[in-house]
Structures are given as C-alpha cells and as structure tokens.
Amino acid sequence: MQIPDTESGLPLVFLHAFPLNRRMWAAQQEALAPRFSLALDLPGFGDRSLVEPKLEAYAGDVADQLDTAGITRAAFVGLSMGGYVLLRLLALDPKRVAALVLADTRVTPDTPVVAGRRDAQIARVRAEGLGWLPEVMLSGLLGSETRSKNPALVQQVDTWIREADPLGIEHALLAMRDRPDSTSLLSRIRVPTLVLAGEQDILTPPGEALTTARAMQAHFKMLSGAGHLSNLEAPAAFNAALAVFLKEAVDGYS
Ligand code: MLT
C-alpha cells in the first residue's frame, strides 16, 4: 500500500462515474503528481465487491477503503455518480472531507421519469446482459464534439462499459434511483468547493451546476467543448481548474 505524502499537499481522492471505474482518472492522477492521489473503484466496479445497493453503503465502502489507505482527511473529486457518493460521504462522515470538487453531477434526486428509465435498464440488463448499453449511453456520456473528433476516447469508454459487471450495474442503478435529495446539505458546507461542468453535458446541464455552485458559494468553472465525462473530454482544462483550486483555495487553508 502507498503511504500518503502529506508534504505535497492534502491527499486527493477520485470517485468515478457510472458505469466506469477508477481508470477514468489516470490523466488527473498523472497531472496532479507528486500530490498523493487515490482513485477508488466504487462497489461492484473494477476490483470492488458489491455492497447493499444504497448510496450510503457506497459512501461507507469509500470510508473503509480510505481507512485501509490511512487517509483520515482528503480533498475529494466526484464526477456524476461519484458526486452522488461524495455528497453521501459528506453527510455521513463530514470530518473526512477537507474540500470537494463536484463535476458533472447534481444534488437533486431522480425525477419519476429518470427513475422509471433506470427500472427499465435494470430489467434489460437482467434479460440481455450489457451488450446494448454502450450504444444507449455514449451519446449522453460524451459531448457531440468528442464523438465526432475523438474516436479513441469513444472506443475507450465503450470498452469500459462492456467490461463492467452486470450486477455492479444493476446495484448502481438501484442506488442512484433511490438516492436522497442532498440540497439541504449545500448551505452547511464549510469547506472549499469547486463545481465543474462540461459545456455540452446533456445529462447534468451546466445551468443546473451553476445553480448548485451558487447555493454553496462554490468556485465554478465551465469546461468548453466537453460533455458529461469532462475529465476525459477536456483533460487539460479539467486538470488546470483542479490544480488552481487546490493551490489557491485548499492548500494552506485546510
Ligand atoms: C454518471 O455519469 O455517473 C451517470 O450519468 C449518473 C446518473 O445516471 O445519474
């Protein structure tokens, strides 16, 4: 196990989007080095075993992984589902969170329409497995510019989706469908916060992210040309926003 190097700043913990895994953060980890960072697999993804399909249990699993790594306090970056889990961690274990970055995510629960779509997806995964999922998801996950200009990234995301465990997908859909409203948390956040939004994100539109940022008095940055998976689509801008936030708002204040 790697030991966090506190000399190079607060440790940084990355929480991935649905239905990907910790490998989506490789470019951020490399760019932010030598700061110690850990990209975690959420339950049922990558190497991680399933837990109860509730976001609280996912946040508990994150806390367990951090205990194992000896990390009592960190700056966290959560993208989309990773942000949902981060908000639950903040509710359950606020002392652990010294700063938070919410990327392409939302604080509100599923609408009935979205919850119904998740139920239909669960039924289809049970009946057919995952072969159909990339085609359904890619146009929401990646912006139009990425889809036309970056076939390698389209292929990479497609592969990650196909490699996922169907049961992990099913549990995550249930956990996201049943997630609570985190809006009331926002005015209680007392740590530095950055909200990032891909300009072409149609799943969690930037206007909604800006409303969230205002409610938290957070720093806000829109990433031009990026869709929902903004860290993969606009890595240079994403990494620069993260580095500036850590340097100016987090290090020395935490
Ligand atoms: C994600 O990227 O994690 C998903 O779009 C989240 C969701 O389906 O709500």
DSSP class per residue in 114-158: HHHHHHHHHHHHHHH-STTHHHHHHHHHS-HHHHHH-HHHHHHHH
Gyration radius from the chain CA atoms: 17
Atom of ligand 1 nearest to the CA of 137: 5
How far, in Å, from the CA of 41 to the mean position of ligand 1? 15
- Across the range 163-183, mean pLDDT stands at 97
pLDDT at 3: 47
Residue 1 pLDDT more than 50? no
How far, in Å, from the CA of 251 to the mean position of ligand 1? 30
* Chain-centre distance for alpha carbon 32: 17
For residue 208, give the DSSP letter.
H
How far, in Å, from the CA of 240 to the mean position of ligand 1? 24
Rounded Cα distance, 31 and 173, in Å: 31
Rounded Cα distance, 173 and 177, in Å: 6
pLDDT at 254: 60
pLDDT at 9: 78
Rounded Cα distance, 173 and 119, in Å: 8
Tell me if 175 CB under 6 Å of ligand 1. Answer: no
Atom of ligand 1 nearest to the CA of 105: 6
In testing the pocket of ligand 1, which one of 15, 16, 80 has its CB within 8 Å of the most ligand atoms? Answer: 80
